[in-house]
Chains A and B, each alone.
Chain A
Amino acid sequence: SQTIHQWPATLVQPVGSPLSLECTVEGTSNPNLYWYRQAAGRGLQLLFYSVGIGQISSEVPQNLSASRPQDRQFILSSKKLLLSDSGFYLCAWSPLAGISTDTQYFGPGTRLTVL
């Protein structure tokens, strides 16, 4: 069966510090991968998605970047964190690209607090 991992689970960082959040998927190949941010426990904002290694699409201009160095690894980064980067970050995957009926499956999330 497929599983998705995110780490760390929680993170407290000072303003201006760098960030690296990691997401990995097991039990599948060539997944679509997604990074979302959830502010104040409400709506989800899609930040990045990837349909393959090295292929990253950004949904909104921001202080963050994403990379996909391996097929099942998705990394969210920042060189300098802002207060507004605080939130709950969720990674998700969906099965092989091109099958448009497929469901997204979410990881457990990372709670980021920027002070």
Chain B
Amino acid sequence: AQSVAQPEDQVNVAEGNPLTVKCTYSVSGNPYLFWYVQYPNRGLQFLLKYITGDNLVKGSYGFEAEFNKSQTSFHLKKPSALVSDSALYFCAVRGRGSGNTGKLIFGQGTTLQVKP
């Protein structure tokens, strides 16, 4: 069965410090991986995705994520956190061969709190 795990309910980091939000996945075959961010009472915003190619993917707002096939991970990173990065972050995966449905499997979310 396909699944996504975000092992941390909350990550706390000081402004200006690097941040990492962890994600591991389990899917048959090579996955498509996504990160989304959600601000309070808003819909999800797409940050970045890995399909193939370079393992380091750059996305919106200075975020990047590293695909590690051997560790089945896709951690979200940013070199210098901003207070405005405080939000709920979701990792998602789509297994190849899911046909034309486009369905994603989402992790439970990680709250990022950046303190000034």
Main secondary structure of the interface of B (DSSP, over half): loop
In chain B, positions 57-94 with a C-beta closer than 8 Å to chain A are 88, 90, 94
Stretch with Cβ within 8 A of B (4 or more), from A42-50, A62-70, A78-86 = A42-50
Set of chain B residues within 8 Å of A94, measured between Cβ atoms = 102
B96 at the interface (CB under 8 A from A): yes
Set of chain B residues within 8 Å of A6, measured between Cβ atoms = 43
B102 touches A102 (CB 8 A): yes
A108 at the interface (CB under 8 A from B): yes
Interface size on B, residues (CB 8 A): 27
Q: Given contacts A32-B100, A34-B103, A100-B102, list 5 more A-B pairs with CB under 8 A.
A: A42-B109, A88-B41, A92-B43, A94-B102, A97-B102
B→A interface (CB under 8 Å): 32, 34, 36, 40-46, 49, 51, 88, 90, 94, 96, 98-104, 106-109
A→B interface (CB under 8 Å): 6, 32, 34, 41-44, 46, 49, 51, 57, 88, 90, 92, 94, 97-98, 100-109, 111
